[in-house]
Chain A
């Protein structure tokens, strides 16, 4: 096996400067496995066809190098650069727009589609005179940046929960509901006031309930949320983080999001974003990320980057009528006819890593372009459709990608880091939050940062915090705990925990459920209260071998989290939100309660008052009514009374 790999590497180095050896490795491993399977099927013709495909792919890889020789050459120049956030090969224009769609067929049979739209603008929102001429960058967001002195803004709206164990890691993780985190410039004096105002403005822009963000669900994480762009501020007092796990995401949130795009939904990839299809899915997440990034690798000039991402997972078993077949039209009820004319690049990537010779699914129309990217520590191979090339659309002038599954086999590589969370205990008095973190790496341990923000009405008892892995106590090396204040702020718990290799680490903490005032309950109090996802941030050891020779153009989806070293990659995981029941008072009887309690107090007051003010006297029986009447008559008659 190793010999074959060396052989193929040598061959490929002669052929091209692209490091395609992993692909071939993957191909050969899967090929070897599938050959066996094919042999089991006893169809020699199939095997032959597969071998032919391999030949073809190799040839196509060569073609890629020839198709984009200037880019490859440019890449070679700054291959020495240790780390670049943004691609740095061409002199950047003043503003720039890129769009792309990544489609990954998932092993569960679902389809993951991830849209990314990036607008780069070389401007300075913080300078004295206001920026007033907007090109591609949406004015509404630009005004927010300058008005609220925002350094970084990340907002996401998610419907559904990302199932890491079935789907692997998403490109942009997001918790169910709405999430907003913002780094402010260090010139902001009243951070809390600005934050509240910003949340209200964003609430208006995105038609969401972000105005429910207040001090009771806002925290200042000390370590989990570092700036993703260039930053000289790391003082976390300028950071605010809030989640609204109950937020329901729907069309009214998508429409304003689409309006931020330079082409709107008129052209380009955004024509696919039809809400009636998008919301008929297992998972839907839309996000906006604004951050300052470097224009070149020396960071001489900076520009503002607006990334709009939209991730959606379609469940084909419900919509495909049992047939495992997928096309752009079936998913989005649209086909593509052109790229956005304003976009400098417009591409569709289809993950074909698990399908090197098309034995799992068949892709049509066929594309010659292949690319590779290291994303989330894994080197993946993608078929590329460049929408700026007319040839992509073929003779019918429309692109309708079609994937037809051939077999439903194949197993997914288990994600190295995986987490889940649940509430244990019964009754409405106390409970216990269990967070399980799985490290599936066979031999390496790595530290993770766990962030928990728990509302005040679940009173956490930090002395009951236990962290155990492999049955042993695993003391966190760093704990940042901020206890809650009733009706003012939530609990914030951040921990740095070392996860031993191939283990499950369990974090448990007990809590007590508070009885709230009757006006503080939600309209459906017996539904329960949501507790936002805990956030696990980690540098996970990469599967890909150490390779600093970056000679390929990295697509957008792989360059979101800046990655300092190739041996490990940053990953953020959100656990399930919790739904916790609280004891409820009887909402129908405030008057009764007020009356009854006041009666009891009055009984106490009255009986003491009685004894305090009155004195003992001998009871003189009062005469009866008849006697009194008789006495009155006798008095009138002038006779002595009885």
Chain B
């Protein structure tokens, strides 16, 4: 397996290097779909320039990266292209290893279940074979590395790639069962952008599952583990936050990074739902809707964790998708991360209802984004509503995609318990409905 992966990495790096050398770099770096005010490379350079001028980068409203990012690029700004390619490679390799481990566990669990005769007889079709699972890790790496969204994001030097790498390392360390590293990477990704905080639920569920700690509120071991994890998480988070404070000697970055994410002052168009909504919002309702929209991102964590407590990795996928749809400054890089998990759920394909429609809409929207942007901003023959309509459609498609996968996952679980070919009371073939 190492050889195809190496080949894949080589191909991916070559494509990126070629694009970095081409004249498309500047064009891609300006695309609002690829870079947001939070992740734009131009703003990182601006932050470094401000530091050189002796001005705090957080005194203005252009730079919104965390101090660690400045510190990192203070040293590697000349090797930025290599850094971003490396980040993509790390993400891909981490996802590859994580999925490989996960598949092993899935297979082991399936074996135990089969040995215990827990599956209905007609479910043999749903049992996953090692042969089909063999290429899944490679497919995951390929989905991430060769996804045009990732390539664009990397070529635009969007720091989203770095955030993705941290999240991928968090997933890897969680799946490997390393509690400390999981907490450290989770705190690092929370520090980078607040939203990955919701990933602590799947991490806890997975780690407890791995250590055979039952999710039971009355058990001391459950609370002990949560305390342990929270301690490690908060400890590393406070270390990182204090380190940032000492790097720049001020707390200015807190409002400038997290206040910026939460209060959405920059209404630059992007692929999300926030920009036009808050540009057109009535001033006295602004705070209310801001709270509603931000709570919406975190809201799904608890019900999803309850529903998917046996399947924390699928929960991670769901959380990543929810974050990338509902976050305040989404870019295509965020979408690429959760889309790279799609091969892991390839066994759900038979239950997907509208995957064809959704993929068509996603493709069409991706093509229409630059077209309508051009019509609005450059040609002047369209207005903002055109671009807004496409972002709406794109988000509806993403929502349908995620809910479709969620539906398929739940349905497969249902079939694994009750059998694949269900009968009605009168013996005729039954259809499953949600009630």
Contact = CB atoms under 8 A, between A and B. Distances in A.
Interface of A: 426-430, 456, 459-463, 479, 481-487, 491, 512, 514-519, 583-586, 589-590, 593-594, 596-597, 600-601, 603-605, 607-608, 610-612, 614-620
A514 B282 contact: no
B71 interface: no
Contact of A616 (B55, B383, B410): B410
9 contacts: A428-B378, A461-B62, A462-B53, A482-B55, A483-B62, A597-B276, A605-B296, A617-B432, A617-B435
Interface string B294-329: 001000100110010000000000000010011000
B430 interface: yes
Interface in B350-399: 376-378, 383-385, 388, 392, 395-396, 399
B296 A618 contact: no
B279 A515 contact: yes
B279 A463 contact: no
Nearest to B423: A618
A597 B30 CA distance: 25
B273 A586 contact: no
Contacts of B227: none
Nearest 3 pairs of A and B residues by beta carbon? A483-B60, A463-B49, A607-B403
A426 B397 CA distance: 33
A590 B385 CA distance: 11
B275 A515 contact: yes
Given A483-B59, A593-B388, A594-B277, A463 B432 contact: no
Nearest to B374: A427
Contacts of B32: 429
A55 B61 CA distance: 69
Given A514-B268, A515-B275, A462 B432 contact: no
A619 B48 CA distance: 62
Given A429-B377, A485-B60, A600-B392, A619 B433 contact: yes
Contacts of B326: 601, 604
Nearest to A604: B399
A585 B280 CA distance: 8
A481 B52 CA distance: 11
Contact of B424 (A484, A487, A618): A618
Given A586-B385, A607-B400, A615-B434, A482 B410 contact: no
A618 B325 CA distance: 32
B245 interface: no
Query: Which of A519, A601, A605 counts the most B-chain CB atoms under 10 A from its CB?
Result: A601
B45 A463 contact: yes
Contacts of A601: 273, 293, 296, 326
A610 B410 CA distance: 12
B42 interface: yes
Contacts of A430: 30
Contact of A611 (B59, B275, B388, B407): B407
Q: Is the interface of A mostly helix, strand, loop or mixed?
A: mixed
B235 interface: no
B46 interface: yes
B49 A462 contact: yes
Interface in B21-80: 30, 32, 42, 45-46, 48-50, 53, 55, 59-62
Given A460-B62, A463-B46, 11 more contacts: A427-B377, A429-B32, A479-B53, A484-B60, A593-B276, A597-B276, A597-B392, A604-B296, A607-B403, A611-B434, A617-B434
B278 interface: yes
Nearest to A487: B265
Contacts of B62: 459-461, 483-484
A615 B53 contact: no
A607 B303 contact: no
Contacts of A428: 376-378
Interface string B396-435: 1001100100110011001000000010110000111111
Query: Which of A429, A604, A614 counts the most B-chain CB atoms under 10 A from its CB?
Result: A604
B126 to A, nearest CB: 14
Contact of B431 (A427, A481, A619): A619
B406 A608 contact: yes
A584 B399 contact: no
B296 A612 contact: no
B73 to A, nearest CB: 13
A610 B276 contact: no
Contacts of A456: 61
A479 B52 CA distance: 11
Query: Which of A427, A584, A618 counts the most B-chain CB atoms under 10 A from its CB?
Result: A618
A486 B281 contact: no
Contacts of A616: 410-411, 414, 432-435
A486 B266 contact: yes
Given A514-B266, A600-B396, A611 B403 contact: yes
Contact of B377 (A487, A583, A619): A583
Contact of B273 (A460, A487, A589, A600): A600
Query: Which of B30, B32, B388 counts the most A-chain CB atoms under 10 A from its CB?
Result: B388
A607 B304 contact: no
Nearest to B308: A612
A514 B383 CA distance: 15
B280 A593 contact: yes
Contacts of B275: 515
A485 B255 CA distance: 12
Contacts of A585: 276, 279-280, 384
B269 interface: yes
Contacts of A608: 300, 303-304, 322, 403, 406
A586 B384 contact: yes
Contacts of B48: 463
Contact of A620 (B45, B269, B424): B424
A515 B265 CA distance: 10
A601 B395 CA distance: 9
Query: Which of A427, A428, A608, A612 counts the most B-chain CB atoms under 10 A from its CB?
Result: A608
Contacts of A607: 399-400, 403
B247 interface: no
Contacts of A593: 276-277, 280, 388
B267 interface: yes
A16 B326 CA distance: 87
B61 A486 contact: yes
A516 B279 contact: yes
Nearest to B274: A597
B257 to A, nearest CB: 14
A597 B403 contact: no
Query: Which of A479, A590, A593 counts the most B-chain CB atoms under 10 A from its CB?
Result: A593
A518 B399 contact: no
Contacts of A596: 392
A610 B55 contact: no
Contacts of B281: 517, 590, 594
Nearest to B292: A601
Contacts of A463: 45-46, 48-49
A430 B432 CA distance: 54
B283 interface: yes
Given A594-B280, A600-B273, A614 B435 contact: yes
Contacts of B410: 611, 616
A481 B326 CA distance: 36
Contacts of B268: 512, 514-515
A611 B278 CA distance: 29
Contacts of A487: 265
